[in-house]
Chain A
Amino acid sequence: MGREVSESCIGSLLTEMVSTYCNRFYANKPELAARRIEAIGYQVGHQLSERYTIERPRFSDHLEAIKFICKDFWFELFKKQIDNLKTNHRGTFVLQDNRFRWLTRMSIDQSPENGTSEELSIMADNKAMQSMHLYFPCGIIRGALSNLGIPCAVSADISNLPAWLYKEIWMITPITLDHENLTFSSFDGSLVLNISFDVFFALTCNLAFTPRFICDPNKGLTRMLWGFEHTLIASLKHDNKKLAGEVIEPIQNDQKLWYM
């Protein structure tokens, strides 16, 4: 039985997540979209840190935990380790990844030396959009560290796409958010669920990183989501979980998100 997910599927999912939250939900409020994406990452990081610390001896101090993040955790997520770790020994750590996997396929617009103000504002938009994609990995790191007992705040910076990525971590308390809902009907219409978006994304990301279903890389995101839906429904039926939203409604045609 296959237990792998194609990387393009994860890339598509993450891109779609950012674009959904930025353009559909919080179209004019990028700060809220960023916070929501970061909260999803927090939940995913929380759960992944539980999974990846099985069979490991306990960490004796913060540095051990950060090193775990740099080596094993990063390897599980991105198939490589952090390239450089710096600290000021007073609670700030800088993790540097020279080739951040989720951004390698992202293009940047090089601005000319003497750009007009129009081009500069386009560049600023690009930069904002790129930084939006960093909130999710920041959330993952924050969730993982919080679960290991280290409250922190994480920020990220790109100096040269797709080459360098810096993250800074320092000790502050995390934040929490509330929910929104997604209507989801099975392909034969027999079951309709309302679940919150961030729960759905957390489920998807968690399933993607801890591969539990078969994914045919040729059929892409649609197939993966179909598989998710059935996994989700199967697991929910098995757990006898009743979710919010008992109204049966057909899926709207304009929710093209799930039909690609």
Chain B
Amino acid sequence: MIVCVAVVGHQNNPLYIQSFTDADDALKLHHIVHCSLDVVDERVNNPKKSGPTLNETFLGLLYPTENYKVYGYLTNTKVKFILVTTDLDVRDADVRNFFRRFHAAYVDAVSNPFHVPGKKITSRTFADRVSTIVQSFGLSSAV
């Protein structure tokens, strides 16, 4: 189950954070997202030159904590997407698919001329699309 998704700008400023649990640990999730930014920077600056993953957008599993897994995705415009999930057996393909749809939704939200780049995304359409994507992620991995 996806617990939290976040969009972070290129100056590590949060553009969109949304948690999907009823529990009141939103702050803990924000903290997890914040820590994962360091891991993203580390991955980008010290790439493992051996693999073909030098310039990929999908960064993969960033780090596992006691309950959560955190996945990262870095776009060409240095915008980071962070996904926090509690699932134990998440398929790579599912996460990639999720990020692809999330990226499309993000691009549509940013193309709104009323959106100021660098400020938080306040579009309700974007929020609705994200919750749709999140819900279908849970369904597909249950299959």
Binding site for B on A (CB under 8 A): 43, 46-47, 49-51, 53-60, 147-149, 199-200, 202-203, 206, 210, 235, 238-241, 243
Contact = CB atoms under 8 A, between A and B. Distances in A.
Contact of B77 (A50, A206, A210, A240): A50
Given A43-B113, A239-B123, A53 B55 contact: no
Contacts, number: 65
Contact of B113 (A55, A148, A199): A199
B55 A241 contact: no
Contacts of B111: 47, 50-51, 206, 210
B78 interface: yes
A101 B74 CA distance: 33
A58 B74 contact: yes
Contact of A55 (B54, B100, B123): B100
B77 A202 contact: no
Contacts of A149: 10, 77-78
Contacts of A59: 55, 76
Nearest to B75: A53
B124 interface: yes
Interface in B30-81: 54-57, 74-78
9 contacts: A47-B111, A50-B77, A53-B76, A54-B75, A55-B57, A57-B56, A59-B76, A60-B55, A199-B114
Given A50-B77, A50-B107, 11 more contacts: A43-B113, A47-B113, A56-B57, A58-B56, A58-B76, A147-B117, A148-B77, A203-B113, A235-B125, A238-B124, A239-B125
